[in-house]
Amino acid sequence: EAQVTQNPRYLITVTGKKLTVTCSQNMNHEYMSWYRQDPGLGLRQIYYSMNVEVTDKGDVPEGYKVSRKEKRNFPLILESPSPNQTSLYFCASSLMGQGSSPLHFGNGTRLTVT
Amino acid sequence: GENVEQHPSTLSVQEGDSAVIKCTYSDSASNYFPWYKQELGKRPQLIIDIRSNVGEKKDQRIAVTLNKTAKHFSLHITETQPEDSAVYFCAATDALYTGANSKLTFGKGITLSVRP
């Protein structure tokens, strides 16, 4: 089944404790991206990647890191999480480009930073 | 950069009625306009999209119209059902012809409630 898999689904952590949210897609998509969703603010892009070893900042990259060492994986790293990073995170992939082909979203990761 | 706005932020309709959700965009170069539906607790999923060379597109009970002059596009849902209750996100990009690095900008989302 074609899908984008995120883990974990739920994560509660404390301020400053490094964490990684994994994202993997099995559709051989070139493009992958991370979004955060907050009430009243919609979907805001954190980072995106056009291909292996190619990443770029989205609208809200501060406090986040990403890497794209393999085509299928695009982990999101929070080196020192803070409470304002409490949010619902979505990974997405598409065959090409930033929305010129449909985005396939993962099931989301709900992160709480205390 | 592109700015996409959705109006209203919430919409409530009676089952069986039609619902119209409007979005405006600012960049006249935008040429691809997808709509995503997010049911409660689920991920966003593409439901319909339209390209700038088309004025209207239909898929069963949903349709999208585009007015390039006024820079707005709308999602129309006819014969609404309770399962249409969700958050709907519109988006815009100029990526269709200008290349992969163009940005997809989302609106903030509209919550549609269909009353049984």
In the predicted model, what is the mean pLDDT of residues A15-39?
96
Q: What is the pLDDT of residue A2?
A: 82
pLDDT digits (tens, 9 = 90+) for B57-116: 999 999 999 999 999 999 999 999 999 999 999 999 887 655 556 678 899 999 999 999
Nearest CA in chain A to B51: A100
Of the partner residues B36, B46, B100, the one whose CB lies closest to the CB of residue A98: B100
For residue A92, the Cα-to-chain-centroid distance in whole angstroms is 7
pLDDT digits (tens, 9 = 90+) for A73-113: 999 999 999 999 999 999 999 987 666 688 999 999 999 99
Percent of chain A whose pLDDT exceeds 70: 96
Q: What is the pLDDT of residue B100?
A: 53
Evaluate whether B90 touches B27 at the Cβ level (below 8 Å). no
Instruction: Using alpha carbons, list the distances in angstroms from residue A43 to A53, A71, A88, B19, B55.
Output: 24, 23, 10, 22, 26
Residue whose C-alpha is closest to residue A69's, from A56, A57, A52:
A52
State the residue for tokens 């099931």.
A107
Residue whose C-alpha is closest to residue A18's, from A69, A107, A79:
A79
Those residues of chain A whose CB sits closer than 8 Å to some CB in chain B are 30-31, 40-45, 50, 56, 90, 96-100, 102-103, 105-108
Alpha carbon distance A61, A23 (integer Å) = 17
pLDDT digits (tens, 9 = 90+) for B9-29: 899 999 999 999 999 999 998
Q: pLDDT higher for A62 or A2? A: A62
Min distance B94 CA to chain A CA atoms (Å) = 8
List CB contacts (< 8 A) between B95 and chain A: 97-100
Min distance A48 CA to chain B CA atoms (Å) = 10
